[in-house]
Amino acid sequence: MATILNDVTDVLHKIRVKLYPNYLEHKIPGKYLARTDSEATVTIEQICMSAKNRGGYTGDLDDMIKHVHRFLHEAVYLLC
pLDDT of 13-60, one tens digit each? Answer: 677 788 888 877 676 677 888 887 766 677 899 889 888 888 888 899
The predicted pLDDT at position 73 comes to 96
Contacts of 39 (CB under 8 A, 6+ apart): 14, 16
pTM exceeds 0.85, yes or no: no
DSSP structural state of residue 22: -
